[in-house]
Structure formats: structure tokens, C-alpha cells
Amino acid sequence: MSRLTRASEESAVQDWRVLDNPAAVAAETVTCLLAAAHEAIAARGRFRLVLAGGRTPELAYRLLAEREADWANWELYLGDERCLPVDHAERNQRMVEQAWLSRLSGDLPQVHFIAAELGPVAGAARYAPLIETVVPFDLVLLGIGEDGHTASLFPGQPLDAEAWVVPVLGAPKPPPERVSLGLRALRSARRLLVLATGTDKRVALERWRAGEELPIARVCRGLSVSVLLDRAADPSP
């Protein structure tokens, strides 16, 4: 593993780590999550974690299912969800359940999924009062899209700085209707961990490091942020 030098002031990210491949990124993610959980439970009696969707987080969740932890003191939340039926294959909830939660035995984490099947407005309205009562999160896990979006906060769409949870009515990628944690909630975190793998993420990472006003930059600015990426995504010269 190599480590990039401190990122530019514009990106405000202190810790960029380049690993060999997505499997290595997933393994390091698990190490970070377990360490953060141990620290949070020792200090506050519970670990509040926001989960991300996507292929690399899914790899990490599968690895987590093989580890032992104080699961009963983990509280899980979702960064975003697609407005699809609960059992739809593209729901983040279903992915988390299949990759991780269904494979655990004994005590399970406390899980708080988004009722996105109600639609974006009703789903956001139901989730917001809960989120307002549980922040700050101990760790927020984020991905980054090819366009610089994170959770379901997309470029070119207004970003409400005050809303805890936002309805997404016109996402530029399917499905168009989603529910997402807003800037206020995602930034209410002791630490952010961003995962990026594959050549399709390289341009977005370059734009972020150059200081472009992308959603990922708006979320991470000025906070404690670590970025784990593989060599294919590495924007370094």
C-alpha cells in the first residue's frame, strides 16, 4: 500500500490511501470500521454508522459478515435509498441484508432503513425525525459517482444545507426518485470514509482534488475525511 501526500487545501481531505485493487480497499474498509466501532463503543456505548450502496461497500459488508464484533451495539443507517419496492434487487437495504446482516448469528445490529417505498417525499419525512435525534454519527461511509455525486446528492441539483433528509425527484441516473441524507446529516459525523475503485472514478477524483464544487466536496469540506481508492481510480500523475 502506498500513501498519497496531503491533498490540496481545496479538497480539504487529509488522508488519501491507494491500495492495489477493490478487494484490498474492502479489506481496509473493514479494518477502519472495526477500529472506529471499538473506539466509539468504548467511549459512548454504541457505534452509529451510515452505510453506502455500491459494489465496493458490498465487498466490505461481505467481509464484515465473516468477522466477530459487538454487533448489538452497532446502529446502522442508510445514506440513501432508491424508491423501489422493499424486495427489489436494486434496493440498498436488500444488498446490505444479503451481503451482511442475513449471514450474522446471535446478536444483530440495530438497523434503521429508509422507507423509500413510500415515495421520496413521504420517505424523507419519515426518516428525518429519527436522523435529527441520533446525530452526530460516529462514521459515515460514502462512495463517489463518476459525476462527483455522493449518496443521492447529484451535481446540478440544489443542495439544501438545512434539511436532515431530502427527497430526490429527478436523479440523472435510474431510478429518478430516491431518498437521501442531506448535507446537514452527512456532515454531522465524527469521521467520513470515502471509497472509490475503478477507472470510471478517476476523473471525478481529479475534479474533487482540483477544488471543483462537487457534491462530494460539499459534504467533506473541513471535516475529518479518509479516502480509500484502488490503483485504477488513482488520479495522481
Q: By residue range, what is the domain housing residue 64? A: 32-230
Residue-wise pLDDT for 126-182, tens only, equals 999 999 999 999 999 999 999 999 999 999 998 999 999 999 999 999 999 999 999
Give the DSSP H or E segment for 135.
none
What are the residues facing 76 on neighbouring strands?
A: 49, 111
Grid cell locating 203:
476523473
- What's the total number of domains in the chain? 1
Question: Is residue 235 a contact partner of residue 202, using CB atoms and an 8 Å limit?
Answer: yes
How far apart are the C-alpha atoms of 103 and 141, rounded to whole Å?
21
Answer whether residue 13 is part of any domain: no
pLDDT class of 236 with cuts at 50, 70, 90: confident
Answer whether residue 25 is part of any domain: no
Any idea what the CATH number is for the domain that residue 150 is in?
3.40.50.1360
The pLDDT assigned to 10 comes to 42
Answer whether residue 70 is part of any domain: yes
Is the model more confident about 14 or about 150? 150
Sequence length of the chain is 237
Question: Is residue 108 a contact partner of residue 71, using CB atoms and an 8 Å limit?
Answer: yes
